[in-house]
Amino acid sequence: MQISPLLAQGFSGLARVDATASSLRATDQGARLQLRLSQGVPWRAYTLDGPPRLVLDFREVDFSGFQGAEFLQTAQILGVRFGTVRPGVSRLVAELAAPLVVAQAAMTVQPETGAAQINIDLQETDKETFSEMSGVLRDPDFDLPDNAPPPAAPAPALGDGPVIVVLDPGHGGIDPGAERGGESEKNLMLAFARELRDTLRRLGGFEVVLTRDDDRFVALERRIAIAHQARAHVFLSLHADALGPGQGQASGATVYLLDRNASDEATRLLAERHDRDDLVSGIDLRGQDDVIADILMDLARQETGPRAELLAQSLVAGMQQAGGPVNSHPIRRADFSVLKAADIPSVLVEVGFLSSPRDLKNLTNPEWRLGMAQAIARGIQAWVIADLARAGLRRR
Ligand SMILES: [Zn+2]
């Protein structure tokens, strides 16, 4: 992996951003980012590809009062996000409209006031050079110590003890997911995941783990690691996305299975957007598997794939019985990174689409959500029975 210019400097404490003295504007060569901080903090800057973006990490910056819209003064940057990625680490991510690499980056500190200024010059280049110069460096100052999954102890066989279900409320923290009518996907899915957890617990025979139980950012990679740590039998990622203008229409519950190739256009955009929404994590799962790992994962998926398919069918049947509404093509396939645990049957459920007025109304209605939670819980129960029957057939 190649690394773009990366810089770090040692300071401590929490710095505030001076919004009026900070900007991201166009220059002849590309763009210049200026960030004024109340004091120096350890930081680093690098670019990532797919999609191209500039990432700045800090230990630690208070962004309150900072407005992305005022800061951003060039069309070469599509958007800026910032906030806390986990306690002690803040991040600013600028999504680049063109391949811009870090040509120069420095922090200067005024000796009298202690105020610091970061200057980063971005230079336009070609796509190949950008790709070569981009990548994240593993750095103990910034990386999460528990980011790596522990040596995977296999889950106890289904049928021996409780069924371990990992529910993954999509998005969270500085990544709101879809937003419509004052509602956000991250909040609705957190509420729904808690309701589904309660429903499963009431049914009995389930142990339920949430990948997040509050409004925090969790990287896609981390969500999978949590499922491994919990020794999950089954993984459900819960979403309620919105399709933008020109991206087609979608409504009704839809269950997605992992497929690296097959996707209709709307599904492809959805998968891409989810991976892009994870850009704040700095790391994505694409391109990380080497050839050997790929072969091993494919072998594991030969076993897991049909089980995940059966899960999708059971969930759709449960939701149809409960009256849905269910999408007219309820089972789809897409390259969702969060479904890449090779050994855990994983699906992504779009419980509804916030871009559909009917779905939005349903999703914000606690009674409807309870009915949907019961339908999904029954679907999981039916899957356990069907999967055990299949396992019995396989052993014979
Ligand atoms: Zn989503």
Please give the distance, rounded to the nearest whole angstrom, from the Cα atom of residue 177 to the centre of ligand 1: 5
Supply the pLDDT for residue 325.
94
Please give the distance, rounded to the nearest whole angstrom, from the Cα atom of residue 298 to the centre of ligand 1: 26
Rounded to two decimals, the pTM is 0.68
Supply the pLDDT for residue 292.
52
- Tell how far CA 19 is from the center of its chain: 28
Supply the angle between the helices 366-395 and 185-203 in degrees, to the nearest 10. Answer: 60
Q: Which residues contact 240 (CB under 8 A, 6 or more apart)?
A: 170, 177, 178, 185, 188, 189, 192, 350, 351, 352, 353, 354, 359, 363
Please give the distance, rounded to the nearest whole angstrom, from the Cα atom of residue 192 to the centre of ligand 1: 13
Instruction: Please report the domains of the chain, with CATH numbers, ordered by start residue.
Output: 15-133 (2.60.40.3500), 163-395 (3.40.630.40)
Is the confidence at residue 302, as pLDDT, over 70? yes
Is the confidence at residue 296, as pLDDT, over 70? no
Please give the distance, rounded to the nearest whole angstrom, from the Cα atom of residue 6 to the centre of ligand 1: 31
Is the confidence at residue 383, as pLDDT, over 90? yes
- Contact between 194 and 258 (Cβ < 8 Å): no
Please give the distance, rounded to the nearest whole angstrom, from the Cα atom of residue 353 to the centre of ligand 1: 9
pLDDT in tens, 36-91: 999 888 888 888 887 788 988 888 888 887 887 788 888 888 888 887 777 777 88
Q: How far is CA 143 from CA 57, 85, 87, 89, 139, in A?
A: 10, 11, 12, 9, 6
Q: How far apart are alpha carbons 309 and 237 in whole angstroms?
A: 15
Nearest of 57, 187, 49 to residue 127 by alpha carbon: 49
Supply the pLDDT for residue 2.
35
Please give the distance, rounded to the nearest whole angstrom, from the Cα atom of residue 35 to the centre of ligand 1: 31
Neighbours of ion ligand 1 (CB under 5 A): 170, 177, 239, 241
The mean pLDDT of 328-352, rounded to a whole number, is 89
In the chain the beta strands, taken as DSSP E runs, fall at 15-26, 30-37, 43-48, 53-58, 61-62, 77-86, 89-96, 100-109, 116-124, 163-169, 179-180, 183-184, 206-210, 234-239, 253-258, 326-334, 346-350
Q: Sheet of 163-169: strands edge to edge? A: 206-210, 163-169, 234-239, 346-350, 253-258, 326-334
**Residue whose pair of structure tokens reads 């492809």 in the numeric block:** 268
- Furthest-apart CA pair in the chain: how many Å? 79
What pLDDT band is residue 10 in, cutting at 50, 70 and 90?
Answer: very low
- Contact between 304 and 387 (Cβ < 8 Å): no
Please give the distance, rounded to the nearest whole angstrom, from the Cα atom of residue 362 to the centre of ligand 1: 17
How many Cα atoms sit within 13 Å of 94 on the Cβ side?
31
**What token pair was written down for 84?**
């806390």
In DSSP terms, 166 is beta-bridged to: 209, 235
Please give the distance, rounded to the nearest whole angstrom, from the Cα atom of residue 250 to the centre of ligand 1: 14
Please give the distance, rounded to the nearest whole angstrom, from the Cα atom of residue 130 to the centre of ligand 1: 28
- Contact between 154 and 196 (Cβ < 8 Å): no
Please give the distance, rounded to the nearest whole angstrom, from the Cα atom of residue 188 to the centre of ligand 1: 11
Please give the distance, rounded to the nearest whole angstrom, from the Cα atom of residue 69 to the centre of ligand 1: 23
Nearest of 40, 41, 42, 22 to residue 32 by alpha carbon: 22
The mean pLDDT of 131-141, rounded to a whole number, is 72
**What token pair was written down for 130?**
């950008």
Strands 346-350 and 234-239: parallel
Please give the distance, rounded to the nearest whole angstrom, from the Cα atom of residue 21 to the centre of ligand 1: 34
Q: How far apart are alpha carbons 261 and 255 in whole angstroms?
A: 17
The mean pLDDT of 84-106, rounded to a whole number, is 85
Please give the distance, rounded to the nearest whole angstrom, from the Cα atom of residue 18 to the centre of ligand 1: 32
- Contact between 64 and 48 (Cβ < 8 Å): no
Supply the pLDDT for residue 225.
84
- Contact between 334 and 270 (Cβ < 8 Å): yes
Is the confidence at residue 148, as pLDDT, over 60? no
The mean pLDDT of 128-152, rounded to a whole number, is 65
